[in-house]
Structure 1
Amino acid sequence: MTYDLTADHAARFARIALGHVTREYPHKADHVMTGDADVYTPRAVHPIFYGSFDWHSCVHGYWLLARVRRLFPDLAEAAAIDALFADAFTPAKVEAERAYLDRPSARGFERPYGWAWLLMLAAELVQAGSPHAATLRPLADAFVARFRDFLPLLTYPVRAGQHANTGFALVLAVRYAEVAGDTALRGLLTERAHGWFGADRDAQAWEPSGEDFLSPILMEATAMAALLPRAAFARWFAAFLPRVAAREPAALFTPATVSDRSDGKIAHLDGLNLSRAWAFHSLAAAIDAPETQAILRDAADRHLAASLDAVAGDYMGEHWLASFALLALGDRPALS
């Protein structure tokens, strides 16, 4: 079976996100307290992104809504999305979110996963021609500045399969750079990717770890596909994963087993299956060999089959997995 994004998928994902982006509790904070004055309640310090269990999941919940609103303008949920956005994206609320970053203890706040997702949301609003794009711009600018300051300091990439993964952040950040026409940011992302990943060869896929939702190998490859010229990427990819024709490393092509979807960390593995599907499709579109494209697309479909139905049912997955399903189904380039 080949999976494509349909209006039914979009409506289901929209209903899921509408059900959690304004759900304040339960809440997991990325917040450093330096005294009693820093006591935290989500809505007080994050007037937009207080829902969805944590800040970054709320951000990509809004991205999901912006994307399905653009791709399927006739959805029954469109009016609810419009009303939500009108209430959320006001100058005062955006400034409150931006001002939080001025806290001395917030230097590492949501780095780099939340940074990248905020830029992905900003890019989607720009692509939609939304008036909210200009309203959100000061917050996007703040995270662009953080990327520019931080990336030169990151001597080594983070290759873990969770939020700190460098490759995933590069993929999302370059999307914003291209949509916003920020050539300086794109140049920095390209330079750092070359330095971190350019000499990598014959990747050994010691994955997944038990709490991964990203594939370190595939995120690195997807970042290089997004940043390198097509011919240069083909050469790099052939050396990086030289045994794709044999579907090796086998662990990379085998969907993860999820034993307990009520456990928030184990449920990460559904996200791994969905993010791998997205990566496989993106890589297939970045190369010209039909046989390799077919192998990668088959791997994508098998990973989607393993976890697509798990996007709802338990809040530990429901507060975020639909965003990754949307990446896998509707945020991938078409094959040429």
Structure 2
Amino acid sequence: MSPALTAEIAQRFAAIALGHVRREYPNKPGHVLAGPEDARTPRELHPIFYGSFDWHSCVHGYWMLAHLLQRFPQIEAAPAIRALFDAQLTPDNVEGECAYLAAPEARGFERPYGWGWLLKLSAELSLHTHHAWFDTLQPLADALVARFEDFLPIATYPVRVGTHFNTAFALRLAADYAEATGNGALFSLLCETALRWYGTDENCPAWGEPSGDDFLSSALVEAECMRRLMPQDDFLGWFDRFLPQIEAGQPETLFSPARVSDRSDGKIAHLDGLNLSRAWCWRALGKAIPEDDPRRSMMVAAAEAHLAAALPHVAGDYMGEHWLASFATLALEA
């Protein structure tokens, strides 16, 4: 049977995240100092998202915990997750996060990866019966929606790398927020931007994959972005043009899991995330095509191979452990 998220896995992943979302050090701040007064600790800069090595990893650690709590509310970690959210998602803490973003030097902070993940977290919280968390976080979500609205119209070109700067991944996550909150204007902006950036792409060679520190497949995450934002029939035609040789197993690199030589190296450890994010994309894309399409079984098999390569390595060294479970959750839930 295909791997799936179970209560046992959810408990294991929750324990991992609870061990790092409030672990302040080591820490890699994406922080611009305008003067000596800005030399502050992670917790002083970010009252909520100061753990997990960096801001964006902390945000998607919270997303994963919210998702696991929603899916399996009776797991052993559930009381600790609820206590964490009650303690951290307070009006004062959210105000502190918003104040950081308001500084002129923070205009590009976490653009676009962290922006997408914060909106993904907000979308997840909207599903919880405990709506106080969603309502409390809303000012920060509003601030990042405004950033998308300001940035996307002036972003002439997409960013196609396999790391945090990838624009397709951010659009994909933001789409979940737009739909969950009924923000039709944001969803339309995301659709228009995706079509402007990617709508005419054809015959993707994927020759640059994998790069040495990729955790996203530039090709597959673009396809997953378009699947999420385009009408089904339009997407199928676009997908046929974008990756026309899937039935022949091409581009071959997209079907072969990346090899990870040193999981204590933070950049090399990204490749475990690449395998997990490819599995997420392959699974989601495979479900979008007809069941009798021969490509579907190939895409499912590719997803299984990538999951098998990465799932055993979600925990172990902190350089991967502080973030990989979130991507494993995406893949298992696709």
Instruction: Give the TM interval when normalised to the shorter protein.
Output: over 0.9
Q: Kindly, what percent of the aligned residue pairs are identical?
A: 60
With normalisation by structure 1, the TM-score equals: 0.97
Alignment of 1:282-293 (within 5 A): 282-290=284-292, 291-293=294-296
| Equivalent residue number for residue 303 of structure 1 | 306
Structure 1 spans left out of the alignment, 5+ residues: none
| Equivalent residue number for residue 332 of structure 2 | 329
Structure 1's consecutive aligned runs of 4 or more residues displaced over 6 angstroms after TM superposition are none
| Equivalent residue number for residue 316 of structure 1 | 319
| Equivalent residue number for residue 78 of structure 2 | 78
For residues 287 and 100 of structure 1, the distance between their equivalents in structure 2, rounded to whole angstroms, comes to 43
How many residues are aligned here? 331
Q: Deviations over 1:190-243 (max 9, x none)?
A: 001111111100100120001000000001100000011000000000111011
Equivalent residue letter for 2:258: A
Equivalent residue letter for 2:149: R
Q: Deviations over 1:276-307 (max 9, x none)?
A: 00000110122224322211111101000001
Give 3-state SS (helix, strand or coil) of 1:24's partner.
coil
| Equivalent residue number for residue 227 of structure 1 | 229
Q: Deviations over 1:144-165 (max 9, x none)?
A: 0000000011100000000000
| Equivalent residue number for residue 166 of structure 1 | 167
Go from structure 1 to structure 2 and tell me whether the alpha carbon gap of 1:232 and 1:286 turns closer, same or farther (over 3 Å shift): same
Q: Find out whether 1:49 has 2:46 as its counterpart.
A: no
| Equivalent residue number for residue 242 of structure 2 | 240
Equivalent residue letter for 1:324: F
| Equivalent residue number for residue 117 of structure 1 | 117
Structure 2 spans left out of the alignment, 5+ residues: none
Q: Deviations over 1:87-116 (max 9, x none)?
A: 000000001001111111000000000000
C-alpha displacement of 1:40: 2.1
Q: Deviations over 1:63-110 (max 9, x none)?
A: 010000000011010000010000000000001001111111000000
| Equivalent residue number for residue 127 of structure 2 | 127
For residues 35 and 235 of structure 1, the distance between their equivalents in structure 2, rounded to whole angstroms, comes to 53
| Equivalent residue number for residue 190 of structure 2 | 189
| Equivalent residue number for residue 61 of structure 2 | 61
| Equivalent residue number for residue 108 of structure 2 | 108
CA RMSD of aligned residues (A): 0.8
For residues 132 and 94 of structure 1, the distance between their equivalents in structure 2, rounded to whole angstroms, comes to 11
For residues 170 and 258 of structure 2, the distance between their equivalents in structure 1, rounded to whole angstroms, comes to 22
| Equivalent residue number for residue 91 of structure 2 | 91
Equivalent position to 1:249, from 231, 248, 251: 251
Equivalent residue letter for 1:312: A
| Equivalent residue number for residue 178 of structure 2 | 177
With normalisation by structure 2, the TM-score equals: 0.98
C-alpha displacement of 1:128: 1.8
Equivalent position to 1:267, from 260, 269, 272: 269
Q: Find out whether 1:294 has 2:291 as its counterpart.
A: no
For residues 93 and 67 of structure 2, the distance between their equivalents in structure 1, rounded to whole angstroms, comes to 21
Q: Deviations over 1:231-277 (max 9, x none)?
A: 00000001110111111100011000000000000000000000000
For residues 153 and 288 of structure 1, the distance between their equivalents in structure 2, rounded to whole angstroms, comes to 37
